[in-house]
Amino acid sequence: MPWLHEAWQSLQKRLAENRLPHALLVTGERGVGKRMFADGLAALLICEQPASDSDNGHQPCGVCKQCELVSAGTHPDIRIYTPEKSRMIKVDQVRALSSFAVSSPQVGQRKIAIIDRADQLNINSANALLKTLEEPSDDVVLILLQESGRPVLPTIRSRCQNLLIAIPDGDAAARWLAAEVMKLDEADQPSAELCGKALALSGNAPRLAYEYLTSDFLTQRDQALAQFRQFMKGQLTVGEAAKPFKAMGLEGALWLFEGWAADLARITAGGSPRDTDAADMLGYLAKFNPPWRAHQILALIHEARSAGVYNVNPELEAVRLLIAWQDLMPRKRASA
Ligand SMILES: [Zn+2]
């Protein structure tokens, strides 16, 4: 993934200067490849004899005992902490991390803990993590991942070195995606047109576009958009319109609504939308609404996302947002 190169190089430099931090906070857009980056770094740090070449700097050798365990996904000194059923990383998980951090490595020289993601630590979990961040043992490296735009508590952030992974340009993203889908079975390979659509919808985040292409997301999204459109025209009840959003789960639904609201904000500001399929509807709404109305919808989405911590009902949230969207329709059309 060539766009990770710069971040990788910057890290190599810190490694070479022996400035590798105990805690690294890796920030980037959804689907840009943060987790791949963290996995790659963990593999490098655990390898017994990293190989080095002038193009890529240090890389795991791929053949030592450590590398074998890593590629089998069973290395006991690498642990991943990610939200399980709830949307947040629980305090019990952080306690497990803390005891992992102070235990001796089982087979490697050091231990790596990946927190995927640090913006999904609740207050209690974050507080529990502070002690480990403040008094780290020498043989542990914590890699925290953060999605851009999602806050991480300042007490956590200030104890980490930061590293930003930037979104690649369109060509680089398209090249990577084209090469990745070639690895799929021939029958599963999406068309170039579909790849283009996935990239546009993901805002050029390559991993996210790949996820779109290899899941039901694009189909679900087309259906959600079709019903959303009908609802806005008053041809469908809010309950019916909410169904496809409910089917994709709260996070997926909020992500879609957020994309459309951001597009509406772009159009009202004279820019062009990412989601060209929804462009006509959003363009129509932009004629009747000042920019702050789009930001009002965005605020509602952020509210719903924070409330997501408490396991709100995705259907109710979809209904609430659909009604807010319908308020943007000119009055005579909404009542027609
Ligand atoms: Zn190795």
Q: Give the model confidence (pLDDT) of 22-50 as tens digits.
A: 999 999 999 999 999 999 999 999 999 99
Q: How many helices (H) and strands (E) does the chain have?
A: 15, 7
Q: Which two tokens stand for residue 322?
A: 């659909």
- Taking the centre of ligand 1 as the mean of its atom positions, its distance from the CA of residue 142, in whole angstroms, is 20
Query: For residue 10, is pLDDT > 90?
Result: no
- Tell me what pLDDT residue 126 has: 94
- Taking the centre of ligand 1 as the mean of its atom positions, its distance from the CA of residue 273, in whole angstroms, is 45
At 18, the pLDDT band (50, 70, 90 cuts) reads confident
- Taking the centre of ligand 1 as the mean of its atom positions, its distance from the CA of residue 94, in whole angstroms, is 28
Query: For residue 181, is pLDDT > 80?
Result: yes
Instruction: Tell the residue number behind the tokens 């009604």, with chain if given.
Output: 323
- Residue of 110, 55, 53, 50 whose CA lies nearest to 79: 110
Angstrom distance (rounded) from CA 61 to CA 53: 11
Angstrom distance (rounded) from CA 147 to CA 172: 21
- Taking the centre of ligand 1 as the mean of its atom positions, its distance from the CA of residue 265, in whole angstroms, is 49
In terms of pLDDT, which residue wins out, 3 or 181? Answer: 181
- Taking the centre of ligand 1 as the mean of its atom positions, its distance from the CA of residue 35, in whole angstroms, is 20
Helix spans in 17-169 (H):
34-46, 65-71, 91-102, 123-134, 154-157
- Tell me what pLDDT residue 336 has: 45
Query: For residue 223, is pLDDT > 70?
Result: yes
Query: For residue 60, is pLDDT > 50?
Result: yes
- Taking the centre of ligand 1 as the mean of its atom positions, its distance from the CA of residue 83, in whole angstroms, is 29
- Taking residue 185's Cβ as centre, other Cβ atoms within 10 Å add up to 6
- Taking the centre of ligand 1 as the mean of its atom positions, its distance from the CA of residue 99, in whole angstroms, is 26
Of these ranges, 16-25, 294-303, 327-336, the one predicted with the greatest mean pLDDT is 294-303
Binning the chain into helix, strand and coil, the percentages to the nearest 5 are 60, 10, 30
- Tell me what pLDDT residue 13 has: 85
- Taking the centre of ligand 1 as the mean of its atom positions, its distance from the CA of residue 167, in whole angstroms, is 29
Angstrom distance (rounded) from CA 154 to CA 159: 9
Q: Which helix (H) or strand (E) holds 232?
A: helix 217-232
- Taking the centre of ligand 1 as the mean of its atom positions, its distance from the CA of residue 48, in whole angstroms, is 5
Query: For residue 19, is pLDDT > 90?
Result: no
Q: Which two tokens stand for residue 132?
A: 């480990």
- Taking the centre of ligand 1 as the mean of its atom positions, its distance from the CA of residue 107, in whole angstroms, is 13
Query: For residue 100, is pLDDT > 90?
Result: yes
Percent of the chain clearing pLDDT 90 (strictly above): 74
At 310, the pLDDT band (50, 70, 90 cuts) reads low
Angstrom distance (rounded) from CA 210 to CA 64: 31
Q: Which two tokens stand for residue 103?
A: 């235990």
- Taking the centre of ligand 1 as the mean of its atom positions, its distance from the CA of residue 45, in whole angstroms, is 9
- Taking the centre of ligand 1 as the mean of its atom positions, its distance from the CA of residue 63, in whole angstroms, is 5
pTM: predicted TM-score of the whole model, two decimal places: 0.85
Rounded to 10 deg, the angle between the 206-213 and 217-232 helix axes is 90
- Taking the centre of ligand 1 as the mean of its atom positions, its distance from the CA of residue 110, in whole angstroms, is 14
- Taking the centre of ligand 1 as the mean of its atom positions, its distance from the CA of residue 197, in whole angstroms, is 38
Query: What does pLDDT average to over the chain?
Result: 91
Query: For residue 89, what are the β-bridge partners?
Result: 121
- Tell me what pLDDT residue 232 has: 96
- Taking the centre of ligand 1 as the mean of its atom positions, its distance from the CA of residue 43, in whole angstroms, is 8
Angstrom distance (rounded) from CA 47 to CA 16: 15
> What is the average pLDDT across 194-217?
93
Angstrom distance (rounded) from CA 30 to CA 207: 8
> What is the average pLDDT across 234-245?
96
Left (φ > 0), alpha (ψ -120 to 50) or beta: where does 73 sit?
Answer: left
- Taking the centre of ligand 1 as the mean of its atom positions, its distance from the CA of residue 326, in whole angstroms, is 57
Left (φ > 0), alpha (ψ -120 to 50) or beta: where does 55 sit?
Answer: alpha
> What is the average pLDDT across 99-108?
94
Instruction: Specify the 3-state DSSP secondary structure of 178.
Output: helix
For 139, what's the count of Cα atoms within 13 Å in the CB-facing half-sphere?
14
In terms of pLDDT, which residue wins out, 220 or 332? Answer: 220
Q: To 5 degrees, how large is the angle CA 225–CA 231–CA 236? A: 115
> What is the average pLDDT across 219-241?
96
